[in-house]
Amino acid sequence: MALRSFFVGGNWKMNGTRESLEELITTLNTASLHDQTEVVCAPPSIYLDFARCCLDLRIGVAAQNCYKVAKGAFTGEISPAMIKDCGADWVILGHSERRHVFGESDELIGQKVAHALESDLGVIACVGEKLEEREAGTTEEVVYAQTQVIAENVKDWGKVVLAYEPVWAIGTGKTASPEQAQEVHEKLRAWLRANVSDDVADSVRIIYGGSVTAANCRELASQGDVDGFLVGGASLKPEFVDIINARA
């Protein structure tokens, strides 16, 4: 059984100024962080360079999205090559806001995953169902289909973290109960075991996202198949430190 190191990502979304982010970064740099936990922060792309320059090197930096080719006539996009050039090592792909606000398809997300991995970026790949899908009882179907497209585009799973983010829990203040999170994580791991390999199922970190706070993080972190968090709003607050230390 592979020992999976705890992984906590902070998705800053479209938030922050140089001033507010500098304050947040100072808080993180001076905090006592659990040394067995991998921490990655995802600033808006315009602040990637700034964040990488200011953050302590023990904290990784991720972009929140990227395109599927290295360069070209794609106004407004950024590539994995550029992300790496700014010193960042990760990218978040398939976030529900990219899927549902900006209409990104499974196919496009798969292509992005393939290109990011070929470019030697780590990928935080997101899956998750909407409220009507959970209420219709199709959660498994939805997340398996999303995971399938990601899996088809992965050669090296060592560079992939899978994030389960129930869309109904993102930014709504509703959190999946620890039992609900564990149930889906367990099923995703079983899917990886059946469709990829035992090794990948045992070693890939499956993290939870959806209104994670200092108040609920320890109970979520105690679940056997919850290997960390992708944190939204709370990652902009000092309580992010408590979430990073959920297993400490």
- Is-catalytic flag, 95? yes
CA distance 133 to 94: 17
Q: Of 97, 104, 133, 165, which is the active-site residue? A: 165
CA distance 93 to 20: 25
> Which two structure tokens, joined as six digits, stand for 133?
């899908």
Q: Which residues pair with 168 in a beta bridge?
A: none
Would you put residue 165 in left (φ > 0), alpha (ψ -120 to 50) or beta? beta
Q: Of 95, 104, 115, 185, which is the active-site residue? A: 95
Quick one: which of 81, 118, 112, 116 has its CA closest to 98? 112
**What does the longest C-alpha to C-alpha distance in the chain come to?**
48
Burial class (CB in 10 A: 0-12, 13-18, 19+), 57: exposed
Cβ neighbors of 221 (< 8 A, separation 6 or more) are 6, 228, 229, 246, 247
Structural element, H or E, at residue 234: none
Structural element, H or E, at residue 100: helix 96-100
- Is-catalytic flag, 165? yes
Active site residues: 95, 165
